[in-house]
């Protein structure tokens, strides 16, 4: 069932449904959504008329908050931590600190990536969560829409990444890794073909290196759509932003030890891109090739 149709079964007119979605009052698996065209399980949808007003896909949303840990949904285009660049003052940690009174970084998502992110509320929690990240016990999973059809249902990338592979970009090394190389392990699974020229992949991190998923997919000839660093210009233009989304986060609470689990459906813009490609949209962009045309006689 489409989300817009489900909202009508709840008694909302079409106009009221659109208004509720655009104001951040409609939640899918706890995440605000304004995509009325997506197919949903009605049991995962909540209408919260008194929820704080926000714009889905643009504004930060707090999913979990206690005296030690804050879990947020980060929109694409928002920095994770402060940076010395234009707009670097607007970031997840800064916004969490403004909204809750506390916020310390423990990990980060790339600026163009959407999805789930943790922020510690105090130093003890920060150290405890960082220890879990170093021990690789935090579950982190991403969804990516990448160019090409999957040749294997699942595989694991296990190599060493360097800051400069020779062209100024990060990448894997084939020879003996230098001292500054860092081991990177990602477990990939092909979820579905997205049209005839792209694939939706899941990527579960064992390590968490900068650009790890982007590099691993690119070096397997599956560059992520919208990736301006590791894809060709044509594939970089095949999506309005990097088609990468942090969809699963599992962590042991830093104080109680309770296992916490969060899951976020595809961000609205990525879900709309998926549907667009499923119907054959922008086919040549995702391949970097032009379709041949029959000569007119």
- Active-site positions? 110
Based on the number of CB atoms within 10 Å of its own CB, is 74 exposed (0-12), middle (13-18) or buried (19 or more)? buried
Question: Which H or E element spans position 270?
Answer: helix 268-278
User: Mapped to the 3 state alphabet, what secondary structure does 80-101 carry?
Assistant: CCCCCCCCCCCEHHHHHHHHHC
Q: Which of 22, 26, 29, 28 is nearest to 55 (CA)?
A: 22
* Pairing between β-strand 114-120 and β-strand 244-252 as defined by DSSP bridges: parallel
For residue 107, what are its two tokens?
Answer: 């990990």
Q: Which of 108, 110, 80 is nearest to 228 (CA)?
A: 110
Question: Which H or E element spans position 250?
Answer: strand 244-252
Cβ atoms of residues 92 and 74 within 8 Å? yes
Helix (H, G, I), strand (E, B) or coil at 188: strand
Q: How far apart are CA 64 and CA 71, in angstroms?
A: 5
For residue 102, what are its two tokens?
Answer: 């506390």
């Amino acid at each position: 069932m489409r989300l817009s149709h489900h909202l009508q079964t709840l008694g909302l007119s079409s106009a009221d449904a659109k208004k509720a979605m655009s104001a951040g009052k409609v939640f899918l698996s706890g995440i605000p959504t304004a995509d009325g065209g997506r197919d949903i399980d009605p049991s995962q949808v909540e209408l919260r008329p008194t929820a704080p007003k926000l714009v889905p896909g643009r504004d930060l949303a707090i999913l979990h908050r206690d005296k030690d840990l804050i879990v947020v949904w980060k929109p694409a285009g928002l920095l994770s931590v402060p940076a010395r660049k234009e707009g670097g003052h607007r970031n997840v940690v800064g916004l969490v600190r403004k909204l809750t009174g506390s916020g310390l970084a423990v990990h980060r998502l790339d600026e163009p990536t959407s999805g789930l992110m943790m922020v510690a509320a105090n130093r003890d929690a920060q150290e405890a969560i960082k220890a879990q990240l170093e021990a690789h016990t935090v579950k982190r999973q991403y969804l990516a829409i990448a160019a090409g059809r999957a040749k294997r249902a699942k595989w694991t990338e296990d190599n060493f990444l360097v800051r400069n592979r020779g062209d100024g970009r990060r990448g894997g090394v084939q020879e003996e890794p230098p001292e500054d190389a860092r081991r990177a392990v990602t477990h990939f699974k092909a979820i579905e073909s997205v049209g005839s020229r792209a694939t939706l992949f899941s990527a579960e991190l064992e390590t968490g290196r900068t650009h790890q998923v982007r590099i691993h997919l690119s070096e397997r000839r599956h560059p992520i759509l919208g990736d301006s660093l590791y894809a060709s210009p044509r594939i970089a233009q095949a999506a309005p932003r990097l088609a990468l989304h942090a969809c699963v986060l599992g962590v042991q609470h830093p104080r109680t030890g309770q296992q916490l689990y969060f899951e976020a459906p595809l961000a609205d813009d990525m879900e709309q891109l998926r549907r667009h490609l499923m119907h054959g949209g922008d086919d040549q962009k995702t391949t970097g090739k032009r379709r041949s045309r029959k000569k007119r006689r």
